[in-house]
Structure 1
C-alpha cells in the first residue's frame, strides 16, 4: 500500500474532521470545487488528480443532501481512477429505522446502506468506517464487496469518565438496547453498571426498575445518540428518584435539534452533556454545558490499520 498516495476528501458538512485527519498525518488534503446552480442543482468537481491513489472520503449521512454529496463524490473518485476508497462515516443517519415498526414502513437504514453499496468497487477495495452504530446488525445491510468496519468511541467515553469521577461512579444506560455497551464500558473502568428497565404498551413507555444501587453515587448515563433528549431525561429522573447524587449525560452522537440542549440543561438533572464530534450540530454547540470530545484520533488509528 505504501506506493499509493493518500488523499483525504470530505463533504462540506464534515470538512473540519478531514482537516484534523490531515493534521494527524493520515493523508494530504484533496481539493473539491463546488457550485450551486440557479435551479438548486449542485455541481461537484475533483480538483486534485486522484488516479492510483488511496482516497479517504469523510462524510456523515445525517441529511439527505449530505448523503447524496457523499455518494456523488465517492462515485467520482472511483470513476477517475482511485486505487482504493474508504468512506469515513462518523454519523450514519436513519440508523434507528433499522426495522419496520408498522406494516409498509421503509427500512431506511437498510436502503441507505444499499445506496452506498452501489458505489462502483475500485481495484483496491471499498470499505466504510462507521462509529457506534445504533444497532449491531446494521453493517450486515451493506452488500457486494463493500467492507464495513465498526469503530467504537468507547475509549473516549472511558477517558471522560475517568477525568470526571476519579473516585468511582456507576455507569448507566437509558434502556436495555445500550446494555452491552454500558456493561463493556463499566468493565473497562472497573465500576458497577446499572440499567433502566422499560415497558412499552398502548399507554406509552413506562419505567419499571433500576438494576443497581445508585444512592449517593455519581451516575454516568450513556446513550448512543441524543436527539430531543427524552430518553436521557426519563432515565435521569428514575436515577434521581433512587438517590443518585450527581448525573452526567454522555452520548456518542450529539444530534441535538432545536432546543434539545436547553431542555436538558434546564431540567437540572445533569451537570453536563458529553458528546463526540461525529455530528456537525455537536460541533456547533460545543462549550458551556456541552463538552465535545473528538473521534478523529480513533478514526486515524483505524485508517492506518488498513
Structure 2
C-alpha cells in the first residue's frame, strides 16, 4: 500500500509539472496581435507599420511577372501588351532562315527562363508561317519554365469545324490536335488563349495537355456602344444569321435585336430580315469574323432598305483575303444607304490591322489590355 501511495504521489507531481510547462509556453508564445504590435514598434518613423501586411494581402502585389515572346508579325501588338502591364516583359527571338528556306531560330537569354512564367504571342494567319512558330512553341516549355501560355488571338481554321459530307476534313480538329501536343512545362499543361473562336464546342477538340481559355473582344465593342448611346444614338444589334445570334446575343442584354437569315435562290444566297425593327435606328452588325465581306455588305443594303438610320459592323477577326476590305464604303453622315458608319475590328489579324489603320470606316480596337489581363498570374 505504501508503494502504491508513493507511485500515485509521483504521478500527480509529474502531471502538475506538465501543466505548468504548458501554461508557461503559452505565456511565452507571442500572440498574433502581439506580433503585429512588435512589428509596429520596429517600424521606422513615418512608415506605415502595417504596410507589409497589407501588401502581402493585395492580389495585385502578389502577381508575378511574365516574359512574353512574339512572332515578327505580332510585334506591334506585343509591345502594346507590354505597355499595358508593368508585370509583362518582352523576350527576344532571332528569326532567320537557312539557305534552303527552313527556319533558323534562336531564343535569346534562354538560360534565364528557368522557373519564369513565359508566354508566346502567335499569329497563324499565313499557313507558311505556322511551322516556324510551332518550333518556338514546342521549345519554350522544355526550358524548365514555371508555366507556359500560348496566346493565339485568331484560331484560323475555326470555320472548318464539322463534316457535312464524307471526305471533308475538319481542319479545326487538326490544328487543335497539333496544339494539344505542346510539351508540358514545370507548371503543367499549356494555357491557350483564343479570342472569339468560331464555335464554343471546339473546346472539346483539344486534349487534356492544354487548357483552352476562350476570351472575347465584345467588351471592347460594348465600350464603343456606350459612347454612342451617351451621344444620343439609338443602338440596335443585328446578327447576319442565326449562328451569330446564338454565339453573341447573351453579350447584349437590354439592346433591341435584328436577326437576318440567308436563303437560297437558285445558286445565290440572299440575306433577308427574319425579325426585328431597324427603322430609324443605328444598327450594328455583330459577327466573329469576316472573309470577303459579301454577307455583311448584303446585310447593310437590306437594313438600309428597311429604314435604318446608320449601319455599322463589328468583327473580332478581320481576315479580308486579297484585300477585300476595300469593298467597304464609308457613310460619313448621309445615311445607311451610303455604306458603313463604323466598322470596328480588333488587331487579332496583324496584316489586316496594318492595312486598314486610319482608313474609314475602319476603327481598330486593340486586344492588348485583354491579353495582358489573361497573362497575369
Would you say same fold, with TM above 0.5? yes
Quote the Cα distance in structure 1 between the aligned partners of 2:141 and 2:248. 39
Query: Do structure 1's residue 46 and structure 2's residue 107 form an aligned pair?
Result: yes
Deviation at 1:123, TM superposition (A): 2.2
What displacement does 1:200 show?
A: 4.6
Q: How does 1:47-86 map to 2 (within 5 A)?
A: 47-49=108-110, 50-86=113-149
User: 2:197 is matched with which residue?
Assistant: 133
CA distance in 2, matches of 1:160, 1:256: 23
2:271–2:295: 8 Å Cα contact kept in structure 1?
Answer: no
Using a 3 Å threshold, how does the CA distance of structure 1 residues 246 and 118 change in structure 2: closer, same or farther?
A: same
CA contact (8 A) 1:210 1:239 kept: no
CA distance in 2, matches of 1:214, 1:182: 18
The corresponding residue for 1:281 is 351
- Inter-partner Cα distance in structure 2 for 1:216 and 1:102: 43
Q: 1:11–1:69: 8 Å Cα contact kept in structure 2?
A: no
Q: Distance in 2 between matches of 1:5 and 1:219?
A: 42
The structure having more radius of gyration, on CA atoms, is 2
Q: What SS does the corresponding residue of 1:258 show, helix, strand or coil?
A: helix
Give the secondary structure class of the aligned counterpart of 2:321.
coil
8 Å contact kept, 2:154–2:194 = yes
Q: Secondary structure at the match of 1:265?
A: coil
Structure 2 matches for 1:110-259, cutoff 5 A?
110-125=173-188, 126-166=190-230, 167=232, 168-187=234-253, 190-200=254-264, 203-259=267-323
2:82–2:372 CA contact under 8 A, matched in 1: no
Distance, in Å, in 2 between the alignment partners of 1:95 and 1:52 is 33
Question: Structure 2: which 5+ residue stretches go unaligned?
Answer: 1-58, 331-336
Q: Please list the CA deviations of residues 106-128 of structure 1 after superposition, one character each: whole Å capped at 9, or x if unmatched.
A: 11111001001111111212110
Rounded to whole Å, the distance in 1 between the matches of 2:185 and 2:266 is 50
More strand by share: 1
Q: 1:124–1:200: structure 2 CA closer, same or farther, 3 Å change rule?
A: farther
User: Alignment length, in residue pairs?
Assistant: 303
| 1:85 aligned counterpart, secondary structure | strand
Match of 1:17 among 51, 74, 77: 77
Deviation at 1:299, TM superposition (A): 1.3
| Aligned CA-pair RMSD | 2.1
Shift of 1:74: 1.4
Q: Residue deviations 1:73-116, cap 9 Å, x none?
A: 11111222212100011111111111123321211111001001
- Conservation of the 8 A alpha-carbon contact between 1:171 and 1:182: no
SS in 1 for 2:184: coil
Cα distance in 2, alignment partners of residues 113 and 29 from structure 1: 26
Where structure 1 has 5 or more consecutive residues not aligned to the other structure, the ranges are: none
Q: Distance in 1 between matches of 2:217 and 2:262?
A: 26
Which structure shows the higher helix fraction? 2
Measured after TM superposition, the shift of residue 68 of structure 1 is 2.0
Residues 50-74 of structure 1: per-residue CA shift (max 9 Å, x gap) = 2221101111222223322331111
**8 Å contact 2:272–2:302 — kept in the other structure?**
no
Distance 1:132 1:248 in 2: 19
Which of 98, 104, 124 aligns to 2:167? It is 104
Shift of 1:242: 1.2
Distance 1:185 1:4 in 2: 31
SS in structure 2 opposite 1:244?
coil
- Change in Cα spacing, 1:120 to 1:250, as seen in structure 2 (3 Å) is same
Deviation digits for residues 199-244 of structure 1 (CA, Å, limit 9, x no counterpart)? 3576342334331011111101111111211110121122112111
User: With structure 2 as the length reference, what TM-score do the two structures score?
Assistant: 0.76
Contact 1:226–1:254 (8 Å) recurs in 2: yes
Deviation at 1:39, TM superposition (A): 1.3
Task: Tell me the TM-score normalised to structure 1 length.
Answer: 0.92
